[in-house]
Structures are given as structure tokens and as C-alpha cells.
Amino acid sequence: VGPISLLHVEDDPNDRLIMSILFRKVAPDLELKAATDGVEAVEALSKAPRPALVLLDLKLPKKNGFEVLEWARSRPELDALPILVLTSSSERGDIDRAYELGASSYLVKSVDMAAMREIARGVAQLARLREPAA
């Protein structure tokens, strides 16, 4: 059994870098995989082993985050997978649409590194509780 893995779907290389640094710091026991657009996300979720959870940006090339959500929730095998939206948008319309399409949570990126570290710590804990046997 390998380490618990998380999938971070994010097209911005700086945001990917920050999240990978934070995860190495707060959760070195977890493996953070990355997808840089919606199509890569769909490919990653289509094959085993699947991640314990997904952090999903909304503004993505090729297939946006809403489309990825809609696709994932139409697949019975991904129905229970936690998909946490992590985006720069705090627009009410985006929040409601994400929940209507099946997002588990909606989080907004912060420029405050302490706030982002808290998010990473919570996400890591959630992943460990979801897959305690891994």
C-alpha cells in the first residue's frame, strides 16, 4: 500500500509550488500529485489508484473546474470522493454553482501564507481520516 495521495488541480505554477511546499512541511507522509488542466484531472481520476481527495481550481484550461466537477459526479465510482474547490473566486454565483454540481467544500486562496498553511493542514488531516488504513 502506497502513501495517501491527494490530487491538486491547478494551472498556476506558483500556486502549485506554494501548495507543494506547504504539504511537504505540514504533511510529509502524504503524496501531493498535480494536474495542470481539466483534461489532466479527468485522466488522473479515471485510473487507479485514486487520490483520497481532490483540490480543484475553477479557472482551468481545456476543461474548467465546473466541467470537471460535473464529469466526476456523473461517475458512480467518484461519487463519494471529496472534491474541495480551491479558487481565487469568492463570487456567490461560483460558490452556489460549485455546490450544485457536487463540490464537497469551497475554499478561497489566500495571499496570507499562514491561512494557506492552515488549509493544507486541515486538508491533510481530512485525507488521513478518510483513508486511515493506507
Partner 1 sequence: MKTELAPPAGHHLLQFYVETETLARNVAAYFADGLRRGERALLVATPEHAAAITEKLSEKGVDLDGFTRLDARETLERISSERRPDERLFEEILGRLIRDTIAASRGFGLRVFGEMVDLLWRDGRGEDAAALENMWNRLLERQRFSLYCAYALDLFAPGSRVPALTTHTQLLPTGVDGQLERAVERAMRETLGAEAVDALLPLIRATLHPRALRPGPEATLLWVRNHLPDVAAEVLARSRAGFLSGRDAG
Residues in contact with partner 1, counted by CB under 8 A, come to a total of: 25
Return the number of the residue (43 or 100) whose C-beta is nearest partner 1. 100
Least separation in angstroms between CB 62 and partner 1: 26
Site map 45..84 versus partner 1, x via CB under 8 A? -----------------------------------x-x--
Site map 12..51 versus partner 1, x via CB under 8 A? ----------------------------------------
Strand order in the sheet with 53-56: 31-35, 5-9, 53-56, 83-87, 105-108
What is residue 78's DSSP assignment?
G
Does the footprint of partner 1 cover residue 126 (CB under 8 A)?
A: yes
Site for partner 1 in 81-120 (CB under 8 A): 82, 90, 92, 95-96, 99-100, 104-108, 115, 118-119
Binding residues for partner 1 (CB under 8 A): 80, 82, 90, 92, 95-96, 99-100, 104-108, 115, 118-119, 121-126, 128-130
